């Protein structure tokens, strides 16, 4: 290859194929320093350098995004992440229950609105608290939330 042909090949590989000097050098059988010397003399060098820097930043951003999905610093963080995914699964399940066109069961309603109910004395039924005003379609009593045989004490919680 003639000297001008070598220089043209270097410029083509660097600017058109976006190869690095270390990749170009073995192809043309010259040193990376020689390739850099030829490339830096070209007027497109600054623009190409900015382009390569931008590409590098985008690759780094993509890598960090993937890495952060799986990286866990310690056991507490891992436990928190597992709890978070359990919560997401629960929310997804609850959304399916709530988004159906069918009527919600009294037990499901009581689960979603547990703070307005108290256990009835001597039974496992849930009863709306006395100080709560509710509409007609809210169940006032939810029966057999807990099997009576599983209640071991007369104490109401």
Specify burial of residue 38 (Cβ count, 10 A radius: 0-12, 13-18, 19+): buried
| pLDDT above 70: residue 42 | yes
Half-sphere exposure of 110 (CA within 13 A, CB side): 20
Predicted pLDDT at 86: 94
Q: What percent of the chain has pLDDT over 90?
A: 29
81-107 pLDDT tens trace: 889 999 999 999 888 877 776 777 888
Beta-carbon count within 10 A of 60 CB: 10
How many helices (H) and strands (E) are present in the chain, helices listed first? 6, 3
Predicted pLDDT at 23: 93
Residue 145's pLDDT band (cuts 50, 70, 90): low
Rounded CA separation 129/139 (Å):
12
What's the whole-number average pLDDT of the chain? 84
Specify burial of residue 117 (Cβ count, 10 A radius: 0-12, 13-18, 19+): buried
Q: Which DSSP letter does residue 117 get?
A: E
- Nearest one of 3, 14, 6, 4 to 36, comparing CA atoms: 14
- Residue 36 backbone phi and psi in degrees, to 5: -60, -40
């Amino acid at each position: 290859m003639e000297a001008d042909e070598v220089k043209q090949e270097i410029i083509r590989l660097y600017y058109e194929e976006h190869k690095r000097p270390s990749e170009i050098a073995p192809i043309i059988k010259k040193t990376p320093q020689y390739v850099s010397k030829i490339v830096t003399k070209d007027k497109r060098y600054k623009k190409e350098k900015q382009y390569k820097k931008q590409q590098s930043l985008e690759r780094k951003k993509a890598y960090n995004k993937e890495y952060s999905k799986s990286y866990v610093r310690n056991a507490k963080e891992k436990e928190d992440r597992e709890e978070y995914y359990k919560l997401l699964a629960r929310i997804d399940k609850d959304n399916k229950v709530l988004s159906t066109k069918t009527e919600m069961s009294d037990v499901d309603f009581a689960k979603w609105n547990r703070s307005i109910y108290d256990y009835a004395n001597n039974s496992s039924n849930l009863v709306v608290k006395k100080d709560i005003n509710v509409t007609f379609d809210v169940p006032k009593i939810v029966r057999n939330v807990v099997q009576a045989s599983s209640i071991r004490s007369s104490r109401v919680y």
